[in-house]
Structure 1
Amino acid sequence: MSNWTFFTNYGHVLFLLGINSNMTVREMSVKVGITERATQRIIADLVRDNYIKVTKSGRNNNYEVISDKHLKHELEKECQISDFIKVIKDSKATS
């Protein structure tokens, strides 16, 4: 069986932050299955493109997903980030 998923690592990181805004880079890396450095690059890209905001809280970061932001691809550009996060949250609640 091939090892592919429907969502990119960017989508996985964004979904995780939408569910838990206090996750550490290490926790995200483990859950997504990528290196901490790759996770940091994804976070930097998401910040640069205004999909998330990062604020320091002591030694930790808090992340705010800009939930009214629209997805980038032509096929999904009508959908907001909040739509996808809601689907993930709802599916976790029912499983």
Structure 2
Amino acid sequence: MDEVPEPHTGWTFLTNHARVLAAIADNHNARIRDIAARCRLTERAVHKIICDLEQEGYLSHVRQGRSNTYRIAPSEALRHPAESGLAVASLLSLLARNEADRATSSEDGGRHHADA
């Protein structure tokens, strides 16, 4: 059975769909369990979001043995009219984290420095 993550109250800047897509962009071979843990969602919720993203053409997967390798369609346009003309790649460039970013983030206590 899916473990229910700690509840969150209040609003957030990102949708769960954006969080899942960013987690996949960070690791194209991530298991649903790992994505759920990173996004603080249930595995069932992540599975539904992945199905949504695949149905709309933002994501596809290739089965390799017992695991999946995900492919993101970076040129697909974001869905909301306010973001018309912006591609998924633009969003992911802000959200996806690589290993170097994680190491830096954990070393400085998760603080990100702005140049503004």
Is TM-score (shorter-chain normalized) higher than 0.5?
A: yes
- Deviation (angstroms), 1:47: 0.4
In structure 2, the partner of 1:46 is 53
2:35 to 28, 38, 57: 28
- Deviation (angstroms), 1:89: 4.0
State the superposition RMSD in angstroms. Answer: 1.9
- The alignment-based identity, stated in percent, is 30
Q: Which amino acid aligns with 2:40?
A: G
Q: Which amino acid aligns with 1:81?
A: V
Larger radius of gyration: 2
**What TM-score comes out, normalization by structure 1 length?**
0.89
Runs of 4+ in 1 over 2 A off after TM superposition: 88-95
Length, aligned pairs only: 94
Q: Which runs of 5+ in 1 are unaligned?
A: none
In structure 2, the partner of 1:69 is 76
Q: Which runs of 5+ in 2 are unaligned?
A: 1-8, 106-116
Equivalent residues of 1:19, 1:85 under 8 A apart: no
Are residue 16 (structure 1) and residue 23 (structure 2) matched? yes
- Deviation (angstroms), 1:82: 0.5
Are residue 55 (structure 1) and residue 62 (structure 2) matched? yes
SS across alignment from 1:61: strand
